[in-house]
């Protein structure tokens, strides 16, 4: 890898924030770029900074103002949104003039707006990464204003004339270390079921899943061990349902060892966020997916569709999520070891454990620094217009 004009390692500014869905793949890219000798700055807002705890300490945090009309806080708040964004862009420009980056990478979400806007104004090489099968609003705005559009889900619906490059969704080093971990199919022994609703939990899963698990036949129920991610306000009632059914369950607002839990699971019940899908396919586990129905442009349904078509997951729209029907699906998976094994294999076939390396190769190509022929050939083979 080359060096910047000042003789220092090149700088990559990663712009992300909002939720774990943006921050986790950003963290994965940061880990790989650091290993390749880059300097990395994370550009985010105050909300996004709450999800930055997993980033390596050597990644500098640059918190800049940003805002969304969807979170404007009434008419007065919305009227201030443009000014907050402009303030963030101004700060981002100053930061880039002081220490010019070789490339800026946006992962979507309104906290990415200032850094991407500053990069466009200063003509810094730039690209975006879209995790879902449908572009988010911010990425759609910048899709024609960047040098490359990397796609985590394939195919991704893109504006006419915009080409995408399928890198896959980067997963963190802890997940990559468990890529393809052997799957133990359901059987007459302790079985782990993991319930996750994304980085912020999911009320619908807390409403329906415990009752569905409690209604399973005793022959299955006595083997179950459950880890259920729930919002703080839902923990007590979810725990009560499991306790009443005699189901051993760990209920918590967040699991910081999800890679271990997924690798030990016989079944995962989850939303269909891009990071969850990436984790499931890199490790290779069968799933029941309940896409969040209010996700922007219904992107979770698009994400889940890929696994459903491959028979790696059962997909249940939230409007059809009833405990009785869910119990039938769960019993069908947990009572059929061969079928569960096939679902795990189908999920694994969709995984891209090297997504972070592929995205890093694209970053270096756009920046005009380093990059390998193998990486460029692999990237080139997955490019296409939409």
pLDDT level of residue 376 (50, 70, 90 thresholds): very low
- Rounded Cα–Cα distance for residues 383 and 369 (Å): 20
48 by DSSP, 3-state: which? helix
- Rounded Cα–Cα distance for residues 47 and 323 (Å): 34
pLDDT greater than 60 at residue 23: yes
- Rounded Cα–Cα distance for residues 184 and 337 (Å): 9
Query: For position 223, what pLDDT does the model report?
Result: 98
**Lowest-pLDDT range, 21-35, 66-80, 127-141, 274-288?**
66-80
pLDDT level of residue 377 (50, 70, 90 thresholds): very low
Q: What is the mean pLDDT of the chain?
A: 90
- Rounded Cα–Cα distance for residues 182 and 169 (Å): 21
pLDDT level of residue 201 (50, 70, 90 thresholds): low
Residues in the chain: 386
Comparison of pLDDT for 234 and 386, the residue scoring more: 234
* Cβ neighbours for 256, distance < 8 A, ≥ 6 positions apart: none
91 by DSSP, 3-state: which? helix
pLDDT level of residue 360 (50, 70, 90 thresholds): very high
* pLDDT one-digit tens code per residue, 52-78: 888 999 999 998 877 565 555 566 556
Comparison of pLDDT for 149 and 375, the residue scoring more: 149
Q: Which residues of 239-254 are buried (b: 16+ CB within 10 A; e: fewer)?
A: bebbeebebebebeee
Both tokens assigned to 130: 């879209």
Query: For position 336, what pLDDT does the model report?
Result: 97
pLDDT level of residue 80 (50, 70, 90 thresholds): low
Query: For position 19, what pLDDT does the model report?
Result: 75
Cβ atoms of 371 and 364 closer than 8 Å: yes
Both tokens assigned to 135: 């572009």
Query: For position 354, what pLDDT does the model report?
Result: 97
pLDDT greater than 60 at residue 85: yes
Query: For position 69, what pLDDT does the model report?
Result: 52
Comparison of pLDDT for 273 and 51, the residue scoring more: 273
- Rounded Cα–Cα distance for residues 234 and 40 (Å): 37
CA 185-190-196 angle, to 5 degrees, is: 75
Sign of CA dihedral 83, 87, 88, 90: positive
* pLDDT one-digit tens code per residue, 300-336: 998 999 999 999 999 999 999 999 999 999 999 999 9
Residues above pLDDT 70, as percent of the chain: 89
Cβ atoms of 171 and 353 closer than 8 Å: yes
**What separation in angstroms does the CA of 157 have from each of 139, 298, 321?**
12, 12, 27
Helical axes 20-35 vs 274-283, angle rounded to 10°: 50
């Amino acid at each position: 890898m080359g060096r910047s004009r000042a003789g220092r390692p090149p700088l990559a500014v990663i712009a992300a924030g909002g939720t774990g869905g943006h921050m986790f793949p950003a963290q994965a890219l940061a880990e790989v770029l650091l290993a390749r000798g880059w300097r990395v700055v994370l550009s985010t807002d105050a909300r996004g900074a709450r999800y930055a705890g997993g980033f390596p300490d050597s990644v500098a945090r640059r918190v800049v103002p940003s805002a969304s009309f969807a979170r404007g806080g009434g008419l007065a708040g919305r009227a201030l949104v443009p000014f907050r964004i402009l303030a963030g862009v101004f700060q981002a420009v100053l930061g880039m003039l002081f220490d010019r980056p070789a490339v800026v990478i946006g992962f979507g979400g309104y906290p990415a707006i200032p850094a991407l806007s500053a990069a466009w104004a200063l003509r810094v090489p730039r690209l975006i990464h879209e995790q879902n099968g449908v572009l988010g609003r911010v990425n759609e705005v910048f899709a024609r204003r960047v040098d490359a559009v990397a796609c985590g889900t394939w195919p991704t619906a893109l504006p006419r004339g915009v080409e995408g490059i399928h890198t896959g969704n980067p997963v963190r080093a802890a997940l990559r270390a468990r890529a393809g971990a052997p799957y133990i199919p359901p059987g007459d022994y302790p079985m782990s079921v993991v319930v996750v609703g994304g980085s912020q939990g999911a009320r619908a899963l807390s409403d329906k899943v415990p009752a569905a698990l409690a209604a399973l036949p005793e022959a299955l129920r006595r083997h179950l061990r459950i880890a259920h991610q729930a919002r703080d306000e839902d923990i007590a009632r979810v725990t009560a349902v499991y306790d009443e059914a005699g189901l051993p369950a760990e209920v918590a607002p967040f699991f910081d060892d999800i890679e271990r839990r997924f690798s030990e699971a016989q079944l995962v019940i989850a939303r269909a966020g891009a990071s969850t899908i990436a984790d499931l396919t890199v490790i290779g586990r069968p799933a029941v997916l309940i896409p969040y129905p209010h996700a922007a442009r219904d992107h979770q349904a698009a994400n889940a569709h890929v696994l459903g078509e491959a028979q790696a997951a059962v997909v249940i729209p939230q409007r059809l999520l009833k405990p009785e029907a869910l119990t039938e699906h769960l019993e069908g998976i947990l009572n059929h070891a061969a079928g569960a094994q096939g679902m795990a294999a189908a999920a694994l076939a969709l995984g891209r454990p090297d997504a972070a390396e592929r995205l890093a190769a694209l970053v270096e190509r756009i920046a005009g620094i380093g990059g390998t022929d193998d990486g460029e050939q692999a990237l080139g083979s997955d490019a296409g217009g939409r």
